[in-house]
């Protein structure tokens, strides 16, 4: 499996702007093939320990069944549409990809 975490910092940090981006994640990205787990939401406002990174407004979390599913997602028309419809609202985007398929032990 491959986990794809994306953290969006918005130019407009209003509740409406945050909600629009979360809604867009679900409308355009949730049902793409090869997704084992999907979640998107706003940063939790009450978690502010010194170790919490608070430099984002919306987080997107997608676990893919494998690397080819991730690669297909990146090229998918819906993903490209999501980017084109939302990119002007982003001040910063940070992406963290983690391979969690390696054997443990």
Q: Which residues of 27-37 are buried (b: 16+ CB within 10 A; e: fewer)?
A: ebbeebebbee
Q: How many CB atoms lie within 10 A of CB 68?
A: 11
**pLDDT tens digits, one per residue of 12-53:** 999 999 999 999 999 999 999 999 999 999 999 888 888 777
For residue 44, what are its two tokens? 């939790």
In this prediction, residue 102 carries a pLDDT of 73
Three-class secondary structure of residue 98 per DSSP: strand
The answer, as to whether pTM is greater than 0.75, is: yes
In this prediction, residue 53 carries a pLDDT of 79
37: Cβ–Cβ under 8 A, 6 or more apart, which residues? 61, 62, 63
In this prediction, residue 77 carries a pLDDT of 97
- Using the predicted structure, report yes or no on whether residue 103 has a pLDDT greater than 80: no
């Amino acid at each position: 499996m491959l986990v794809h975490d994306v953290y969006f910092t918005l130019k407009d940090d209003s509740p409406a702007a945050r909600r629009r981006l979360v809604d867009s994640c679900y409308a355009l990205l949730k049902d793409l093939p090869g997704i084992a787990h999907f979640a998107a939401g706003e940063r939790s406002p009450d978690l502010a320990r010194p170790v919490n990174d608070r430099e984002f407004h919306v987080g997107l979390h997608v676990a893919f069944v494998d690397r080819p599913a991730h690669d297909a997602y990146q090229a998918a028309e819906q993903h490209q549409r999501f980017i084109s419809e939302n990119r002007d609202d982003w001040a910063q985007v940070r992406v963290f990809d983690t391979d969690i398929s390696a054997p443990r032990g």
